[in-house]
Amino acid sequence: MDQVSANIEVAGRIYRLRINAENEEYLRKAENLIKVEISRLNVEYHNRDTQDKLSIILLNIAARLIECQELSEVHCREIEKIDRELGIYLERQGSLDNIE
């Protein structure tokens, strides 16, 4: 995995990070998401400091992550169920083919 240096700005601070090259796009998208959310919160919570805004953003992102993980687990269980049912169906089809 190739490592690259990336300068990421969060709430006016620059962070120089060494990251895997294939992850840079996600990091840039995260950087942009945080900028957009801070801009939105600057209007909505103009009386709050940056730490409060970052905390709100972090909570929202963590909640979305947990929701996605739970949905992923549900989808995996559904796929496993379909796979089992398909296996049973194919076994039955194979048994019928042997009879003929």
pLDDT of residue 54: 96
- Domain residues for the domain of 26 are 3-99
- Output the pTM of the full model: 0.72
Q: Angle at the Cα of 98 (from 96 to 99), degrees rounded to 5?
A: 65
Token output for 46 = 């103009």
pLDDT of residue 93: 84
Give 53: exposed, middle or buried? Use CB within 10 Å, 0-12, 13-18, 19+: buried
pLDDT of residue 97: 59
Buried-state track 24-37, b at ≥16 Cβ within 10 A, e below 16: beeeeeebeebeeb
Structural domain count, the chain: 1
pLDDT of residue 98: 58
pLDDT of residue 6: 93
pLDDT of residue 52: 95
pLDDT of residue 96: 57
* Distances 57 to 18, 22, 24, 39, 87 between C-alpha atoms, Å: 24, 25, 21, 11, 45
pLDDT tens, per residue, the chain with 100 residues = 799 999 999 999 999 999 999 999 999 999 999 999 999 999 999 999 999 999 999 999 999 999 999 999 999 999 999 999 999 998 888 865 555 5
